[in-house]
Amino acid sequence: MKIKALKCLLAIPFFIVGVTQEAIALTGGPDAGGYSFIDSHEVGGPSYNYVDISLVGSVISLYDDSSRMVPIGFTFNYYGVNYTSVNVGSNGFLTFNTGNYGRYSELNLPTPWMPSTVVAPFWDDLYPRYGQVHYQTQGTAPNRTFIVQYRPPFYFFSGTNNFEVILHEGSNDILFQYAYAGTVRNQGSSASIGIQRDSSTGLQYSFRQQRVSAGLAVLFRGGPINSAPTASGGAAQTAQCTGGSSANVMLDGTASSDPDGDTLTYSWTWDSDRNGIFDTTVTGVNPSASFPIGTIDIYLTVDDGNGHTASSTTSVTVQDTTAPTVSAGADQTIEATSTSGVYFDVSTQATASDTCCVVTLNSALGTYALGAHTLAVSGSDCSGNSASDSMV
């Protein structure tokens, strides 16, 4: 606390030397994320309509240089990402990041020294006491508003600024409003006001400039909201084994779509060994891949390149229903060398083939008496399909 007090004392000469309030019309943007701003001094700017929730809103208990996560009450889209809660900081800014954020030294926005998402109606070294920061969700869907209101006193020595930020459902507009700004510091001479998506994208309304006045409203509005894609891995497929106990199958992601027309990337993954490890990945909208006999679940993820993904599940079943081809070979006439007969093994001339895998032959062999004998050969493949043939 002593360090902060010294900081404020040293800053006093800076605040009071020859600075005049800049009550001028302002617009800005768009930034790389599509956001622009316009204030109430500008033709076509927002109307000032301060909503006082100090008697009806929920208190956010904050200590010096701290923040608290609170529910918004609806889904709010900020730079293309949906959020349902927001982190309210004691030093006049909000963030959609989780964690404790209480940095008191204001910086130009965007900045890498803050959480990636920042909504700063009045980022300064504030010190709101208990009961001075409130929040409330008002209205009915789909046009609700979420309000965070900061009330004085704020600074270690003085300060009676009174401001709020309002998030709008549906339009996703962000509105800053200022009810009182009676001193040089309350007019923003040591504050940073603006928004940012990340360290390189954002909009600065003012930085250490006296642009805040009683009755000022500043509206930040994004471009068209980028929506999430839809993933479709196609219908489950069944294929016949074509060799090597497997089959080549073309996957089909063509039914996937993106409402914004974004170019999608496709990633397909599955557990080819059925050992619980997803060890195979292919890319593309219609990739071909080899699948073993049996059923494999396949997971498709599509990415629109704007922070949105979607997933879909399909499956490929490879089956072997074709019996092998078995030939016992040509009929044979064998000259016996004794009256007991002759030894013969039909498997020495039998052949077999299969479109999927190796065939195991089974045949009768032994010593055969004089006369004619019909000898059979059977074969089974790896899927249990079988066939037989005979010779005389």
Is 227 within the bounds of a domain? no
Q: Using an 8 Å Cβ cutoff, are 118 and 93 in contact? A: yes
Query: Which runs of consecutive H residues, i.e. helices, occur in the chain?
Result: 2-16
Q: Identify the sign of the CA torsion 13, 17, 21, 22.
A: negative
Is 66 within the bounds of a domain? yes
Is 226 within the bounds of a domain? no
d(CA 335, CA 354): 34
Mark whether 105 and 210 lie in a shared domain: yes
d(CA 365, CA 348): 10
Last residue within a domain, chosen from 187, 221, 255: 221
Length of the chain: 392
Domain region containing 12:
2-221
Non-local (6+) Cβ contacts of 26 within 8 A are 37, 38, 39, 41, 42, 205, 211, 218
Angle at CA 108, nearest 5°, toward 39 and 134? 60
Mark whether 345 and 315 lie in a shared domain: no
Angle at CA 184, nearest 5°, toward 178 and 186? 30
pLDDT value at position 131?
66
Nearest to 145 by CA among 172, 178, 118, 177: 172
Query: Tokens for 187?
Result: 């007019």
Is 231 within the bounds of a domain? no
d(CA 166, CA 73): 13
pLDDT value at position 21?
45
Mark whether 371 and 260 lie in a shared domain: no
pLDDT value at position 137?
98
Q: How much is the mean pLDDT over the chain?
A: 84
pLDDT value at position 153?
63
Q: How many Cα neighbours within 13 Å face the side chain of 109?
A: 29
Nearest to 31 by CA among 268, 196, 216, 161: 196
Backbone phi, psi, residue 377, to 5°: -130, 135
Residues of the chain short of pLDDT 50, as ranges, are 1-22, 157
Nearest to 391 by CA among 368, 375, 372: 375
Mark whether 81 and 153 lie in a shared domain: yes
pLDDT value at position 18?
33
CA distances from 124 to 142, 194, 199 (A): 33, 12, 19
pLDDT value at position 154?
62
Mark whether 53 and 159 lie in a shared domain: yes
pLDDT value at position 62?
85
SS3 state of residue 51:
coil
d(CA 186, CA 88): 20
d(CA 234, CA 283): 15
Give the number of domains in the chain.
3
SS3 state of residue 81:
strand
> Which CATH number does the domain housing residue 284 bear?
2.60.40.10
Mark whether 256 and 209 lie in a shared domain: no
Nearest to 50 by CA among 212, 150, 177: 177
Nearest to 133 by CA among 183, 63, 187, 73: 63
Nearest to 180 by CA among 204, 208, 154, 205: 154
Mark whether 174 and 285 lie in a shared domain: no
Nearest to 181 by CA among 162, 208, 156: 162
Mark whether 300 and 382 lie in a shared domain: no
Mark whether 383 and 339 lie in a shared domain: yes
R_g of the chain computed on alpha carbons:
38
Mark whether 251 and 342 lie in a shared domain: no
pLDDT value at position 73?
97
Q: Using an 8 Å Cβ cutoff, are 16 and 184 in contact? A: yes
d(CA 329, CA 213): 103
pLDDT in tens, 343-380: 777 777 888 888 888 888 887 777 777 778 787 888 78
